[in-house]
């Protein structure tokens, strides 16, 4: 008879372990996702915003995850508008696997730390990268950024706003999967076309400039990018 309580205790511990292991796995995965997002945020030298998400819903703001985030924000800060964007994106990481992070957009950074490449590599499904540079990012940091993006094999779309130099952009030479590039810049130099020409799957290029692009520069792009849809417009 003494064996029965002992067997019952063993069964209880078996049940506890069986229930605890999945929870532990989920918590570990969520913790790793938060770590990856935090590492990316910390690898950027001050930024107004770093947004992450899935391609079709990053800007929608109407998904169930946004409702959860807004609820937490209101509970913690009373008004969700005061909820720090960095905390918002880390909370989003808890709710979704890293495979959902297809889009990263960085607004108004001042530079990138040497750890940026390692941080970016943790998002292997990256398809869209948006960069909004007010002109404060050093040239060597821009070069590092584009060199790291060259390693993002699934990258399909680039959204480049602000100050972009052809020297740093050239580090993307030969990217195998980029299909579309959008420039919003003060002016564009014809040297950029030489790098775009090396993208084998390029389909669309849209160039929006503050200063009207000269007919000569437009011709360089059109001739260099035969078979690619190239659009020019002013702000």
Give yes or no for a contact between 163 and 192, defined as CB atoms under 8 angstroms apart: no
Tokens of 130: 């948006």
Closest Cα to residue 195, out of 181, 213, 216, 210? Answer: 181
User: Model confidence over 144-168: pLDDT tens digits?
Assistant: 999 999 999 999 999 999 888 999 9
Which secondary structure element, helix H or strand E, spans residue 205, and what is its range?
strand 204-209
User: Domain extents for the chain?
Assistant: 3-59+98-172
Q: What pLDDT, on a 0 to 100 scale, did the predictor assign at position 64?
A: 52
Closest Cα to residue 124, out of 87, 145, 97, 143? Answer: 97
Q: Which of 41-55, 63-77, 91-105 has the lowest mean pLDDT?
A: 63-77
pTM: 0.78
The mean pLDDT of 47-75, rounded to a whole number, is 61
Q: What proportion of the chain, given as a percentage, has pLDDT over 90? A: 44
User: Model confidence over 4-60: pLDDT tens digits?
Assistant: 666 666 677 677 667 777 767 667 777 888 888 888 888 988 877 777 776 655 444
Closest Cα to residue 103, out of 67, 65, 57, 140? Answer: 57
Residue the block writes with tokens 């990268």:
129
Measured over the CA atoms of residue 64, residue 65, residue 69 and residue 72, the dihedral's sign is positive
3-state DSSP assignment of residue 204? strand
Quote the CA–CA distance of 82 and 137 in Å, as a whole number.
Answer: 27
**Residue 111 above 60 pLDDT?**
yes
């Amino acid at each position: 008879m003494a064996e029965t309580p002992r067997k019952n205790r063993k069964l209880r511990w078996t049940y506890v372990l069986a229930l605890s292991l999945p929870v532990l796995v989920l918590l570990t995965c969520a913790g790793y996702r938060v770590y990856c997002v935090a590492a990316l945020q910390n690898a950027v030298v001050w930024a107004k915003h770093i947004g992450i998400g899935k391609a079709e819903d990053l800007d929608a703001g109407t998904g169930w995850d946004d409702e959860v985030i807004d609820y937490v924000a209101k509970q913690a800060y009373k008004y969700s508008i005061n909820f720090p964007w960095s905390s918002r994106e880390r909370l989003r990481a808890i709710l979704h696997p890293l495979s959902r992070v297809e889009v990263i957009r960085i607004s108004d950074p001042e530079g990138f730390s040497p750890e940026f490449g390692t941080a970016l590599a943790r998002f292997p499904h990256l398809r869209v990268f948006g960069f909004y540079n007010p002109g404060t990012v050093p040239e060597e940091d821009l070069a590092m950024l584009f060199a790291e993006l060259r390693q993002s094999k699934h990258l399909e779309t680039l959204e480049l706003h602000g100050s972009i130099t052809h020297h740093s952009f050239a580090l993307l030479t030969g990217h195998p999967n980029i299909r579309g590039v959008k420039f919003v810049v003060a002016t564009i130099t014809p040297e950029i076309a030489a790098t775009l020409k090396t993208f084998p799957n390029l389909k669309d290029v849209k160039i929006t400039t503050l200063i009207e692009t000269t007919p000569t520069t437009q011709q360089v792009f059109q001739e260099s990018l035969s078979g690619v849809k190239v659009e020019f417009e002013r702000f």
